[in-house]
Structure formats: structure tokens, C-alpha cells
């Protein structure tokens, strides 16, 4: 038995011409397919057929077996059933990198989902789906903690829709153990590639978890505190404050990464609090990957304690290399470059360039953006600013695409100072108005020097007028404006001015 799946002729043009009529046509189209499936006895076997309906965005043989309740010894039986569905055009099989992934036309999936509910099997199957992805946490974090880290990020991207559905079911069903595990693997992997959705999952369940004194509260608060990335700095500080109370209680944060709690502090203009926290965590002796030490270096640089930062960074790259973890190593190279950018600009630039290449190759987009920002800052002081412009543009694009409304101020601060140095004063003032905040004032000291020069060159009133324009821009407007100025600067190739 096979199906011929139809489409609506000229659907793209018709959607543009009359969206309301197309909705009616699409409903009729979907109903026709539903009737066809029912008429031909569409759901021929119960457990495997019903079970795969819970997957969104596809599944593989292993996950199908887990959700259907089969043991590993039954894989061939399940594969035969999946192959039968493929031959009947109810499933699509796609093979890539030696693996087969199955997917289903959404109309068919929705139809079968209705059958799942009608058969009163939804709870059982969705619970199995959530448990499967919860159990994936250990394997995926182990994969992340090694040279094949990029494969863990690929898994996250492929399975995000399934992770989302699994978390939603577990949270709504008050299965905290499953929800915490899914939020943990999602937020850890998402953090590395600038996907902050799972941070919201951690936020959602932190209060229910606290109500029952869940053993992984320190993990949840650490992950929830990263909500500063999409702009929720005040909430992030609150999570960090609470998370500090649970360090050492219950389960430990994976990879000694509780130093992440410090990030909300230095991004809210409280680097001294970040330094205090990192030093307290380091006293526990669990910084297996050098992550908290790296956060300490970052905090020391932001606070202006460069000598302490350089001393703390000494030997950090070797520790990170020994971990075999690309995220850890690229982050160590970042903070080393930050610490030595004044005392040893050439060594700093070499470390940052090495980190940037490695971050790109290992898909560590979060570190790639930070490395590009710091590298641009170092390169902006050279006689050839072209590379600095390129790295500022890279960081702005990455951060804008990811929705990181906080960090985007940093490359803009570097850009403002660079434009001022090149004599492009009015755009520099406009961008400075947007970029200036407690973090950039401390982390990008050249911005403060540039603003002082701009006030002198343009005059106080003109500077304030231009800065006010920039301050009122949205993130998207400022990103577009900054990229336009970068394009113009590259075309004009202005000569540096000294001040």
C-alpha cells in the first residue's frame, strides 16, 4: 500500500495573494489526507506506530525503541516496522553520516497523535519520551566534555524540538527529575552555541525544585543565572544570589562550572562580587576544568586588577589543554588574551587568534563572539584596523542572531572607540550612546577615553545629542547602523588620528 501526497498548486503565490482563502484550502487539503489514512487502515500497529508520534522533528532507531518500550534485542523488529511505514510513505528515512533518521509529514503525525489520545496511551508514551531525553543527559555531557564536542552541539540542534516537548511534558507532569535533567543538558549545550531557550526551562522549574529541596538546586540556579544573556540582568543577579547558598549542597555542578554564577555580577557592574564568589568556589578544590579560574580572570580584568588577572591566568591554558575540552580551552585563551592585552599585545593577539579558530571549528559560538570582541580591541590599536572591523562585525552578527542583547554592547563599545580613533566622530558618538553601560565602562576602557575625546572634539551639546540618538535605538536598529558604518569605513579606509 502506498500514498500519493498532494500539494496545493501555486501555494506560495496563493498565500501571498489571499492568506485567508489559503487557510481554508489547507484545512481541506489536510482533511483529505486524514480521510485517506483512515480509509486505508492507516495505523496498522499500536505501540511503535503510536509511539513515534510523540517525536517532533524526527527520531532514530534507538529513541523509537526506548519510547515504544522495546529492549535492545528487539531493534530488528522495530526496524522492520519502521521500514514498513517508510514503504507506505507514512515515514521518511534520511541517511546522513552513517545514521538513519526518520521523520513524518506533519499532517500524518497530527492524525496519529489523535489516535494516541483516543487509545488512552498518550501519558505512557509521552512519559517514555521525556524519560528517554532525560537519560540522554549523561551521555551528551560526556560527549561534550571531549574532542567530539561539536557532535554534542549537533545533537542539540537536531533534537531541540524533542527536548522542548520532553521538558514541557515532564514539567507539566511534575516529573522534576526528568525536567531537571532535560533543562541541564539543554542549557549546558545551548550556552556554548548561543541558544538561550533552555535557560528559561531552568528558570521555570527552579521554584518547584526548591520547594522540595531537589538535590540539583545548585545546577538549576547556575543555569538560570545565565538569563542575563538575553537581557534579564536583574533576575540573573537574583538567581546568582540564591545559587550561592546551595553550592556544596546536593549534587555538584558538572565540570566545576558553578563559577558561571559570577557572570551576572560582572555584567551588572559588580565585578568585586564576582571575584569574591570565584575565590570562594576555588577554595572548594573542584575546578577540574579551570572554568571558575577563567571566570575569576575575567572578573579581575573587568575590575581593573590586571596584575592579579595576569598572575591568575598564568598556567591556565595548560590546565584547559589537559581537559581535552574545546569550550574550556577556547575560554581560557579568551581570558588569557584579555589579561595580557596591554602588557603583551602580541602574545594576547596570538592566544585570541588561536582561540577564535578553535571556537569556530568546534562550533563554540559563544566563545567565538567573545574572542572576536577582544581580538578586535587588540587589533584596533594597530595601524591596520581592517581586521578589527571584521571581528567587530562577526561579533555583532553572532550576538544579534542569538538574541544576546547584553553582550552586544561590547563590540559596539570597541567600534565606537575605533571610529573615534579614525576620526569618524559623529557615528562614534551615536554608537557610544548605545554601548555605554556599567560593564562596558569597566571592560572596554578605551570607550571612556573615546567619549572624553568626542566631548572635546564635538562639544558637549553635540555629543549629548548624538549619544541620545544612539541610546534610543533598538538592538536591531543599532546593529544595522553599526554594520553600515563598518562597511563605509572599509570603503573609505580613513587614516588613524592620535589623541
- For residues 292 and 260, state if they share a domain: yes
- For residues 387 and 488, state if they share a domain: yes
pLDDT for 46 = 37
- For residues 160 and 91, state if they share a domain: no
**231 lies in which domain range?**
123-138+150-310
CATH number (domain holding residue 217) = 1.25.40.10
- For residues 114 and 129, state if they share a domain: no
CATH number (domain holding residue 45) = 1.10.10.10
DSSP string for 467-495: HHHHHTS-HHHHHHHHHHHHHHHHHH-PP
Beta bridge partners of 100: 95
How many structural domains compose the chain?
A: 3
pLDDT at residue 107 tops 70:
no
- For residues 134 and 81, state if they share a domain: no
φ, ψ dihedrals at 288, nearest 5°: -65, -30
**Cβ contact 449:457 at 8 Å:** no
> Which residue do the cell numbers 522540595 mark?
212
pLDDT for 54 = 67
- Round to whole Å and give the CA distance between 337 and 259: 19
Which letter does DSSP use for residue 253 in this model? Answer: P
* Residue 320 within a domain: no
- For residues 60 and 128, state if they share a domain: no
- For residues 171 and 301, state if they share a domain: yes
pLDDT for 121 = 60
What grid cell was written down for 440?
A: 562596558
Could you report the per-residue pLDDT of 318-375, keeping only the tens digit for each?
Answer: 999 999 999 999 999 999 999 999 999 999 999 999 999 999 999 999 999 999 999 9
Could you report the per-residue pLDDT of 411-463, keeping only the tens digit for each?
Answer: 999 999 999 999 999 999 999 999 999 999 988 999 999 999 999 999 999 99
Q: What is the pTM of this model?
A: 0.83
pLDDT at residue 231 tops 70:
yes
- For residues 262 and 405, state if they share a domain: no
- Domain termination residue (choose one: 310, 335, 361): 310
pLDDT for 495 = 52
Beta bridge partners of 94: 101
Amino acid at each position: 500500500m502506498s500514498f500519493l501526497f498532494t500539494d496545493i498548486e501555486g501555494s506560495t503565490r496563493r498565500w501571498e495573494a489571499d492568506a485567508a482563502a489559503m487557510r481554508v484550502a489547507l484545512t481541506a487539503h489536510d482533511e483529505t489526507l486524514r480521510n485517506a489514512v483512515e480509509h486505508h487502515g492507516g495505523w496498522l500497529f499500536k505501540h511503535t506506530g503510536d509511539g513515534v508520534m510523540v517525536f517532533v522533528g524526527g527520531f532514530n532507531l534507538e529513541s523509537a525503541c526506548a519510547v515504544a518500550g522495546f529492549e535492545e534485542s528487539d531493534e530488528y523488529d522495530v526496524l522492520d516496522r519502521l521500514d514498513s511505514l517508510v514503504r507506505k510513505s507514512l515515514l521518511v528515512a534520511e541517511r546522513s553520516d552513517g545514521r538513519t533518521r526518520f521523520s513524518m509529514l506533519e499532517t500524518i503525525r497530527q492524525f496519529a497523535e489523535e489516535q494516541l489520545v483516543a487509545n488512552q496511551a498518550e501519558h505512557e508514551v509521552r512519559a517514555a519520551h521525556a524519560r528517554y531525553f532525560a537519560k540522554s543527559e549523561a551521555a551528551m555531557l560526556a560527549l561534550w566534555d571531549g574532542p567530539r564536542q561539536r557532535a554534542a552541539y549537533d545533537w542539540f540542534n537536531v533534537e531541540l524540538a524533542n527536548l522542548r516537548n520532553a521538558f514541557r511534558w515532564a514539567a507539566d507532569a511534575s516529573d522534576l527529575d526528568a525536567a531537571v535533567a532535560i533543562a541541564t543538558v539543554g542549557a549546558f549545550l545551548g550556552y556554548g552555541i548561543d541558544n538561550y531557550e533552555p535557560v528559561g526551562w531552568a528558570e521555570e522549574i527552579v521554584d518547584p525544585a526548591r520547594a522540595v529541596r531537589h538535590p540539583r538546586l545548585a545546577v538549576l540556579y547556575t543555569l538560570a543565572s545565565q538569563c542575563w544573556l538575553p537581557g534579564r540582568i536583574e533576575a540573573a543577579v537574583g538567581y546568582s544570589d540564591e545559587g550561592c547558598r546551595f553550592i556544596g549542597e546536593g549534587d555538584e555542578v558538572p565540570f566545576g562550572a558553578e563559577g558561571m554564577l559570577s557572570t551576572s555580577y560582572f555584567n551588572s557592574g559588580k565585578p568585586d562580587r564576582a571575584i569574591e564568589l570565584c575565590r570562594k568556589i576555588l577554595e572548594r578544590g573542584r575546578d577540574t576544568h579551570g572554568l571558575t579560574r577563567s571566570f575569576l580572570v575575567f572578573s579581575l580584568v573587568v575590575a581593573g586588577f590586571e596584575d592579579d588577572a595576569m598572575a591568575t591566568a598564568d598556567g591556565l591554558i595548560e590546565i584547559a589543554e589537559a581537559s581535552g575540552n574545546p569550550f574550556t580551552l577556547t575560554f581560557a585563551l579568551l581570558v588569557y588574551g584579555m589579561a595580557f592585552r596591554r602588557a603583551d599585545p602580541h602574545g594576547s593577539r596570538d592566544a585570541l587568534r588561536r582561540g577564535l579558530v578553535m571556537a569556530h571549528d568546534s562550533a563554540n559560538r559563544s566563545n567565538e563572539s567573545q574572542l572576536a570582541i577582544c581580538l578586535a580591541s587588540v587589533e584596533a590599536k594597530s595601524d591596520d584596523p581592517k581586521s578589527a572591523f571584521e571581528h567587530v562585525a562577526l561579533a555583532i552578527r553572532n550576538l544579534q542572531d542569538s538574541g544576546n542583547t547584553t553582550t552586544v554592547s561590547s563590540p559596539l563599545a570597541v567600534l565606537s572607540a575605533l571610529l573615534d580613533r579614525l576620526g569618524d566622530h559623529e557615528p562614534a558618538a551615536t554608537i557610544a550612546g548605545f554601548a555605554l553601560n556599567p560593564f562596558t565602562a569597566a571592560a572596554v576602557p578605551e570607550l571612556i577615553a573615546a567619549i572624553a575625546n568626542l566631548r572635546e572634539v564635538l562639544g558637549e551639546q553635540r555629543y549629548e545629542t548624538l549619544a541620545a540618538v544612539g541610546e534610543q535605538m533598538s538592538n536591531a536598529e543599532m546593529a544595522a547602523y553599526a554594520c553600515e558604518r563598518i562597511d563605509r569605513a572599509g570603503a573609505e579606509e580613513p587614516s588613524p588620528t592620535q589623541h
